[in-house]
Structure 1
Amino acid sequence: MSEAVSAAWDAIAAVPRRTLDELFHADEGRAARFSGTLALPGDEGGNIRFDWSKTHLDDALCTRFEALADAAGFAAMRRKLFDAEIVNPTEGRAATHPAMRGSGDPAKVEEAEALLRRMDMLVEAIHDGALGDVRHLIHIGIGGSALGPALAIDALTRDGARVDVHVVSNIDGLALERAFAACDPAKTLIAVASKTFTTIETMTNAATALAWLADNGVADPSGRVVALTASPEKAVEWGVDETRVLPFPETVGGRYSLWSSIGFPVALAIGMDEFRELLAGARAMDAHFETADGRDNLPLRAAFSDLYYARIRDCQTRAVFAYDERLTLLPDYLQQLEMESNGKRVTAGQEPVSGPTAPITWGGVGTDAQHAVFQLLHQGTHLVPVDFIASIAPGDALDPAHHRILLTNCFAQGAALMAGDKGEDPARHFPGDRPSATILCDDIDPATFGALVAFHEHRTFANAVLMGINPFDQFGVELGKRMAKEIDAGGGDFDPGTQALLDAAGLG
C-alpha cells in the first residue's frame, strides 16, 4: 500500500462518527444531496433514483474517500477499463464487457457489434421458424453463464416469453430432469454456454441433454445445439455446426458476460429489439460512470459506503432486498458478481491486502424477508448495511392495494432501521441508526434492468480499485474443482475426514 493510500485510509478512520438522525438534523437538504437520478434512454424514458441518504456518508467522509480514489488511481483505472487496456494483471487481459454494450474502445465496440449482429441473425432465424417449431430452450451453463441469463429471463418475461427458456446449471441430475419434464424434445433447442467449452458440469449436462433428444426421437441432436463460447473451435470439435456457434471475446469474464452471446437465451426469450434496449440501459450507466467525478458518480459513491462499513465499521455482510418479484434472483446474481470479483486476500500487486475486502452478500425478496430475517437486522447484534430495490410501477395487473402495501413496507423498513424505538422494555428496544440505501426504479423494463446490472458491475469495479485488488480473476474457484477431478480419477491424498466421507459414499 502506498503512503498516500495509507494516509487516506487513516483520514477516513479519523472522521468523527455521527448518527443518521444527527446527519439529517444537521442538513435539511441531505435527502436530495445524497441521492442521484439516472435518466434512461428510449421513447418511454424512465429514471432510476439512487438514495444513499440513510447511510453514514457525510461531506467529510466523501471528501476523504475522494482523496482515497485519487491516491488509488481510480480515474486512470477507469480509463484503462474503457480503453480496453489491461486491468486483469494476473491473466494479462483487458475487461471488455463495456464494449459488448457499445461503450469504450471503438475497435472493441465494432467487434462487439459484429458479434451482436451474428446473434441477431440466429435469433431472428429461430423466431422465423428456420430451425422448425421451437417452443423451448434448455440453456446449460454454470456461474456467470447461468446466473445472468436466469436473472434477466425471470425479470423480463413475467408477461410471457417468445420462447420458453429453462436455465440449468447444477450437475445434480434433478435440475436437468425438471427441464426435460417441461419441454417437448421435438420442439426444444439446447444452448451450451461455456467460455472454454471444457467446464465439466456444463459439458456433462450437455451430453446428457443430447442423449435425451436422441432417446426421444430427434434425428439430429447436434443440429439442435447452439454454442456460446470464447473457444469456438472447441465447440465445432464437439459437434456444433459453426453457423450455430456464437463467440464472445476471451476478455469478457463469465460474471460480466450477460451482454455478450451469453445473453442469447435472453434475446430468444424477449426478442432482439428488447435485448438491444437492455444494452442501451447499461450503456447509459456506462456513460455516467465514465464521466461523473467523485461523490457525483453513483457507483463510486456506493463503493464509498460499502468500504466505510466493511473497513471502518467492521461489517462482514451486506444485505440486498428486492421489493419486486421480478428481481427475485438479483441477490443470487450479486453474490457471484461481488464475492467472486472482490473476495481476494492479495492486491493486484500480489501483496497482502490491508483490510477486509468483499463483505458477504446475501438477501431475499420483500415482504417475505421481513418475516424471516429482519428480526436480526432490527434487533440483532450485527450491523448490516441494507440495499432496498423497488419499482414505482407494479409488475402485476391486480388491485393496486398489492403494490401500495409492497412499497409502503419497503420504505417503512428503511425508516425503521434508521429511527429505531426505545420500546417499553429491553425486548422491545430497537437501537436504530442502522444504515440502508434505496434504489427506486420507475419500472422494471429492459433498459432499467440493463442499467441496474451495469451499476452493480461498476460498483464492484470501484470497490476493487479503492482496495487495490484485481476483480477480474477467480483462482479461488479452481482448487476444489481440481481436487474433485482427482477424486473422480481415483487419485488424491486426502485428510482422514474427507477419506471417510468418500468411503461412506462408495467413492473411496
Structure 2
Amino acid sequence: MTEAVSAAWQRVEAVPQRTLKELFASDPGRVTRLSQRLEWGEGEIAGGIRFDWSKTHLDEDLLAAFEALAEARGFAAQRAALLGGEKINVTEGRAAEHTAQRGVGSEAAVEEAAALHARMKLLVEAIHEGALGPVKHLIHIGIGGSALGPAMAVDALTRDLALVDVHVVSNIDGLALEQAFAACDPATTLIAVASKTFTTIETMTNAASALNWLRDNGVSDPSGRVVALTASPEKAVEWGVDETRVLPFPESVGGRYSLWSSIGFPVALAVGWDEFEAMLAGARMVDEHFRDTDGRDNLCLRAAFADQYYTSVRGCQTRAVFAYDERLALLPDYLQQLEMESNGKRVTADQRPVSGPTAPITWGGVGTDAQHAVFQLLHQGTNLVPIDFIASVAPGDALDPAHHRILLTNCFAQGAALMAGDAGEDPARHFPGDRPSATMLCDDLNAAALGALVAFHEHRTFANAVLLGINPFDQFGVELGKRMAKDMEAGGGDFDASTRALLEAAGLG
C-alpha cells in the first residue's frame, strides 16, 4: 500500500460517525445531492433510473476522503485501461472487453463485437423465420455466468410473452436436465451449449445427455439441433456442431460479464433482436456515464464509496439486495456471482496480501416475501447490513393497481423504517434505526432498464476492486475444488479420512 493510499484510508477512517437522522437534519439538500437519474431515449422509448444513496452514511467529508482514495489508487487510469482494451486482468494477461460488446471500448474490439452480433442476429432471425423448422423450445446449457446471466434476463423479460420457451440448465444434477426435458417437445427443441472453452465438464456432460435425449426421442440428426456459444469455435466444430451454428465470443469477455456476447443468444431468441439491442443500449448508457463522469458524480464509483465504508470502516460482512419486482427474482443470484467471484480475493493485483476485508457476502430476495422472512434480523438484529432496494414505477401486471401500490409503499416504508427506528413500548419492541439503504427506482422494468442495472453493478464491482487494489477479472478460487473432483472421478487423489469415508458411504470409494 502506497503512502498516498494509506493516508487516504486514514482520512476515511477519521471522519466522525454521525447518524442518518443527524445527516438529514443538518443538510436540507442531502436528497438532491445524493440522488440522481440516468436517462435514455426520447418520446415513447424514453426511460430512466433514479439512484438514491441519501439513506447511506455518505457525507461531504466521506465523499471527499473517498475521492482522494480513488485518486491515490489511480482510478481514472484504471478505468481508461479497462475501456481501452489494455490487459487489465494482470494475472491472466488478458483484457476485459465486455463493454465493447455494448459499443464502448477500443475501436478494434467494438468492430469485432459488431461483426459477431451481426452473425448472431442472422441466426436468431433465421430461426424465428423457420430455417431450422418449427422451434418452440430452447434448452440452454451452461454454468456460472454462462447460465446465470441468460436465466436472469430471460426471466425478467419474458413474463408477458416469449417467442421461444427457454429453459436454462446449469446443475450437473440430472434432475435439472430431466425437468427441462419434461417441459419440451424434442421435435421442436434446440439445444444451446454455452462454454468458453467447450471443455467444462458439467456443461459438456449435460450437453451429451441432451443429445441422447433428442436421439432417443426420434430426432434423426441431434447435432443439427445444437447451437454452440463459445470462445473456442474450433472445439465446438470438433464436438460436432456445424460451423454455421457456432456463435463465437472473444477470449477477453469473461463468463460473469458475458451476457452481452453470444452468451445472450437465448435472450435474443426468447424476446427478439430488437429487445436484445435495447438491453445493450441501456448498458451502453451506463458505460458512457461511467466513462465520462468523475468523482462522486460517477454513480458506480459513489456506490463503491458506500460499499467500502460499510465493509472496511463499519465491519459489515454482508450486503443485501431486495428486488420489489417479481421480474427481478433472479437478480440477487446474478449479483452474488458477479460481486463475490470478482472481488472475493485475498491478494492485491501485485500479489501482496490485502490489508483488510474485500467483498462482503452478497445475498437477497424478492419483495414483500423477504419482509416476512429476513427483515426481522435487518431491523432488530445485531448485524448491520447495508441494503439495496430495486423497484419499478410501472407495474409488470395488469391487475388492480392496488397490487403495485402496496408493493411500492412496502418497499419505500422498509427503507424509511430502517433509518428511523422506533423507541418502542419495551425492549422487545425497540427498533434502533440508523440502518443504511440505497434505492434504485426504474421508470419501467424493460430491456433497456435491465441492461442499465446490470452494467451499473458491473462498474460498481470494478470500482470497488480499484479502491481495494485487487484484480476482479480472475477467479482462481473456483479451480481447486474442481481439480480435486476430477481426481476423485479418476479414482486418484490423497484425501483426508473424512472425505474417504464419505466416498465409501456413497459407494464411490
For this structure pair, what is the TM-score category when the shorter chain's length is used for normalisation? over 0.9
Letter in 2 for 1:487: M
Give the match for residue 12 of structure 2. Answer: 12
Give the match for residue 35 of structure 1. Answer: 35
Letter in 2 for 1:478: E
Give the match for residue 93 of structure 2. Answer: 92
Give the match for residue 194 of structure 2. Answer: 193
Structure 1 CA distance for aligned equivalents of residues 208 and 91 of structure 2: 33
Give the match for residue 63 of structure 1. Answer: 64
Structure 1 CA distance for aligned equivalents of residues 391 and 121 of structure 2: 31
Structure 2 CA distance for aligned equivalents of residues 341 and 119 of structure 1: 28
| TM superposition shift of 1:160 | 1.1
Give the match for residue 417 of structure 2. Answer: 416
After superposition, where does 1:132-281 map in structure 2 within 5 Å?
Answer: 132-281=133-282
On the 8 A contact 1:317/1:359 being kept in 2, the answer is yes
Q: Deviations over 1:176-201 (max 9, x none)?
A: 00000000000000000000000000
Q: SS state of the match for residue 494, structure 1? A: coil
Q: SS state of the match for residue 367, structure 1? A: helix
Structure 2 CA distance for aligned equivalents of residues 463 and 150 of structure 1: 26
Letter in 2 for 1:472: F
After superposition, where does 1:321-336 map in structure 2 within 5 Å?
Answer: 321-336=322-337
Structure 1 CA distance for aligned equivalents of residues 45 and 238 of structure 2: 45
Q: Deviations over 1:118-146 (max 9, x none)?
A: 00000000000000000000000000000
Structure 2 CA distance for aligned equivalents of residues 40 and 369 of structure 1: 31
Structure 1 CA distance for aligned equivalents of residues 214 and 252 of structure 2: 33
Structure 1 CA distance for aligned equivalents of residues 314 and 428 of structure 2: 25
- C-alpha RMSD of the superposition: 0.5
Structure 2 CA distance for aligned equivalents of residues 312 and 327 of structure 1: 30
On the 8 A contact 1:34/1:52 being kept in 2, the answer is yes
Structure 1 CA distance for aligned equivalents of residues 280 and 293 of structure 2: 20
Structure 2 CA distance for aligned equivalents of residues 142 and 247 of structure 1: 17
Give the match for residue 389 of structure 2. Answer: 388
Structure 1 CA distance for aligned equivalents of residues 205 and 371 of structure 2: 39
After superposition, where does 1:324-403 map in structure 2 within 5 Å?
Answer: 324-403=325-404
Letter in 1 for 2:420: A
Q: SS state of the match for residue 161, structure 2? A: coil
Letter in 2 for 1:134: V
Is 1:291 equivalent to 2:281 in the alignment? no
Q: Deviations over 1:39-85 (max 9, x none)?
A: 02364211100000000000000000000000000000000111001
After superposition, where does 1:438-457 map in structure 2 within 5 Å?
Answer: 438-457=439-458
Q: Deviations over 1:250-285 (max 9, x none)?
A: 000000000000000000000001100100000000
Structure 1 CA distance for aligned equivalents of residues 374 and 194 of structure 2: 35
Q: SS state of the match for residue 399, structure 1? A: coil
Structure 1 CA distance for aligned equivalents of residues 267 and 115 of structure 2: 18
Structure 2 CA distance for aligned equivalents of residues 299 and 238 of structure 1: 41
Letter in 2 for 1:366: G
Unaligned ranges ≥5, structure 2: none
Give the match for residue 427 of structure 2. Answer: 426
| TM superposition shift of 1:322 | 0.1
After superposition, where does 1:469-480 map in structure 2 within 5 Å?
Answer: 469-480=470-481
| TM superposition shift of 1:104 | 1.6
| TM superposition shift of 1:106 | 1.2
On the 8 A contact 1:40/1:448 being kept in 2, the answer is no
Letter in 2 for 1:205: N
Structure 2 CA distance for aligned equivalents of residues 211 and 370 of structure 1: 44
Give the match for residue 437 of structure 2. Answer: 436
Is 1:506 equivalent to 2:485 in the alignment? no
Q: SS state of the match for residue 45, structure 2? A: coil
Structure 2 CA distance for aligned equivalents of residues 132 and 199 of structure 1: 29
Normalising to structure 1: TM-score of the pair?
1.00
Give the match for residue 309 of structure 1. Answer: 310
Structure 2 CA distance for aligned equivalents of residues 247 and 228 of structure 1: 6
Structure 2 CA distance for aligned equivalents of residues 106 and 441 of structure 1: 31
Is 1:26 equivalent to 2:26 in the alignment? yes
Normalising to structure 2: TM-score of the pair?
0.99
| TM superposition shift of 1:11 | 0.6
Structure 1 CA distance for aligned equivalents of residues 355 and 9 of structure 2: 10
Structure 2 CA distance for aligned equivalents of residues 45 and 461 of structure 1: 28
On the 8 A contact 1:123/1:268 being kept in 2, the answer is yes
Q: Deviations over 1:365-399 (max 9, x none)?
A: 01000000000000000000000000000000000
Structure 1 CA distance for aligned equivalents of residues 105 and 116 of structure 2: 16
Q: SS state of the match for residue 339, structure 2? A: helix
After superposition, where does 1:95-110 map in structure 2 within 5 Å?
Answer: 95-110=96-111
Q: SS state of the match for residue 403, structure 1? A: helix
Structure 2 CA distance for aligned equivalents of residues 35 and 296 of structure 1: 10
Give the match for residue 51 of structure 2. Answer: 50
Q: SS state of the match for residue 331, structure 1? A: helix
Letter in 1 for 2:45: E
On the 8 A contact 1:229/1:248 being kept in 2, the answer is yes
Extract structure 1 runs of 4+ deviating beyond 4 A.
Answer: none
Letter in 2 for 1:10: Q
Give the match for residue 486 of structure 1. Answer: 487
Structure 2 CA distance for aligned equivalents of residues 82 and 292 of structure 1: 14
Q: SS state of the match for residue 176, structure 2? A: helix
| TM superposition shift of 1:449 | 0.5
| TM superposition shift of 1:86 | 1.0
